Amino acid sequence: MSAVPQAAATEPSLSAPYRLLVVNGNTTSELTTSLASQAEAFYGDMVRIHAVTAGFGPAYIASRAEAAVAAHAVLDVVERATGEAPDGGFDACLLACFGEPGIGAVRERLDVPVVGMAEASILSAMQRGDRYAIVTVGQRWPGMLREQIRQLGLESRCAGILALPGNALDYVSRSAESALHVSRALDAAVAQGADVVIVAGAALAGYLPSLPRLPAVPIIDSYRAALAQVLALASLERAQRLSLIRPGAHS
């Protein structure tokens, strides 16, 4: 496959808006719209969002087989988006799936920061507490996430992974019933010894304001953790590039 062009035709200033590619590895376009709106609210005028949806695969990833298909779909939609992007592409890419399907391949193909929700939120959690827990939707996800955490080398500080009942997309509506399930799972995570809890997955992005109450420990929204980290990496990348182009300009 041919290399995907990444460098911008003209170097932006340090204060120019960043261009962020947000990738929904699920095929539910309504979820993509929600993720884009949340990103725009999070960043304001600092970042220009281009959100894309996987062209094939599951409506919402819930198994290893579906994750394997989604990895192909993610790489496909990333290459399409970067190939069609004006002015050379994007400053960073955010894979908005907690399972991060295809993230290694995307990082191999792009020469800009690529951030996933799991790695970003777990690293953030370890900066806020000693032992983290993960609350997510889907009965297969605890086993899948344990494999993922082992690959990242971050399993020793995991207090537990709790699976919410039902279908993940049912939680997007923020119903009172689903909010109660999430609230109880957060309490259970704390009871298992977690001193910081991650609310994980694209379907639960932006969910915290809907909860009747929160435990007395830090709660991390995995999508917002990824939004924060990808901006940090993009700004670092830009500052370093500009310092090389104009030595001494930022000293």
The residue written with tokens 């983290």 in the block is: 132
Q: Is the pLDDT of residue 90 over 60?
A: yes
Cβ proximity of 247 and 239 under 8 Å: no
Cβ proximity of 149 and 122 under 8 Å: yes
pLDDT at 12: 63
Q: Is the pLDDT of residue 5 over 80?
A: no
Query: Comparing 196 with 172, which gets the higher pLDDT?
Result: 196
For the stretch 115-151, pLDDT in tens is 999 999 999 999 999 999 999 999 999 999 999 999 9
Terminus-to-terminus CA distance in the chain, angstroms? Answer: 40
Q: Is the pLDDT of residue 2 over 70?
A: no
Cβ proximity of 122 and 102 under 8 Å: no
pLDDT at 8: 45
Cβ proximity of 46 and 81 under 8 Å: no
Model confidence at 7, pLDDT cuts 50, 70, 90, reads: very low
The residues pairing with 92 across neighbouring beta strands, listed in sequence order, are 20
Mean pLDDT of 95-114: 96
For residue 52, count other CB atoms closer than 10 A to its CB.
20
Query: Strand 132-137 relative to strand 158-164: parallel, antiparallel, unpaired?
Result: parallel
Helix axes 222-245, 29-43, angle to 10 degrees: 60
Least-confidence region, from 82-91, 94-103, 130-139: 82-91
Mean pLDDT of 174-181: 92
Model confidence at 240, pLDDT cuts 50, 70, 90, reads: confident
Please name which of 25, 26, 222 lies closest in space to residue 135, comparing C-alpha atoms: 222
Cβ proximity of 171 and 143 under 8 Å: no
Query: Comparing 36 with 4, which gets the higher pLDDT?
Result: 36
From the number of C-beta atoms within 10 Å of its C-beta (0-12, 13-18, 19+), residue 96 rates as buried
Query: Strand 132-137 relative to strand 114-116: parallel, antiparallel, unpaired?
Result: unpaired
Model confidence at 87, pLDDT cuts 50, 70, 90, reads: confident
pLDDT at 3: 47
The residues pairing with 198 across neighbouring beta strands, listed in sequence order, are 134, 220
- Tell me how far apart the alpha carbons of residues 4 and 241 are, in angstroms, rounded to a whole number: 19
Q: Is the pLDDT of residue 43 over 80?
A: yes
pLDDT at 9: 43
Q: What are the Cα distances from residue 158, in Å, to 131, 144, 198, 221?
A: 6, 14, 11, 16
Q: Is the pLDDT of residue 62 over 50?
A: yes
For the stretch 193-202, pLDDT in tens is 999 999 999 9
Mean pLDDT of 88-97: 92
